[in-house]
Amino acid sequence: MTDRNIVQQPGVQALLNQVKACVPAITLIDNVPPEPSQHDVAHILEALPNARTELVIGVGGGSVLDVAKLLSLLCVGDDAVYLDTLLAGEKPTHRTASLLIPTTAGTGSEATPNAILAIP
């Protein structure tokens, strides 16, 4: 998971090639917008081929890392919580493994389990 500006960087392309060589199936999400809303996350979830994943890798700034953290909660299969229930305050009990690689300094998004979304 990244954004359109970061995905073209040589380091990100090298990481993507390494992951593709080791993992039988991946889904690249490279359209995370700045300041994502719950609607943006819902659209990303709709575009995924299935709701179960074993690893979420986020490469980018705070918005990308926040969405990656959310997907690590929302894509765990049968035990998944739904975005609406998270927004209502339900505490998740399961999380898919995630790797967060920050490309910016200052947000600290990689250091906490919290995610920030715009709620229009």
CATH number, domain of 58, equals 3.40.50.1970
User: What does the alpha-carbon distance between residue 27 and residue 16 come to, in Å, rounded to a whole number?
Assistant: 11
Q: How confident is the model at residue 6 (pLDDT cuts 50, 70, 90)?
A: very high
Q: What is the pLDDT of residue 51?
A: 65
**Is there a domain that residue 37 lies in?**
yes
Structural domain total, the chain: 1
The SS3 assignment for 76 reads strand
SS3 labels along 19-58: HHHHCCCCCCCCCCCCCCEHHHHHHHHHHCCCCECCEEEE
Helix axes 62-74, 38-47, angle to 10 degrees: 60
Residue 110 has pLDDT above 90, yes or no: no
Residue 119 structure tokens: 């709620």
29-77 residue pLDDT tens: 999 999 999 999 989 988 887 767 889 999 999 999 999 999 988 887 6
**Is there a domain that residue 50 lies in?**
yes
**Is there a domain that residue 118 lies in?**
no
Give me the torsion for CA of 8, 28, 32, 76, rounded to 10°: -150
**Is there a domain that residue 4 lies in?**
no
Q: What is the pLDDT of residue 13?
A: 94
Q: What is the mean pLDDT of residues 108-120?
A: 84
**Is there a domain that residue 120 lies in?**
no
User: What does the alpha-carbon distance between residue 80 and residue 82 come to, in Å, rounded to a whole number?
Assistant: 7
User: What does the alpha-carbon distance between residue 102 and residue 120 come to, in Å, rounded to a whole number?
Assistant: 26
Residue 45 structure tokens: 């979830």
- Print the domain residue range for 28: 10-111
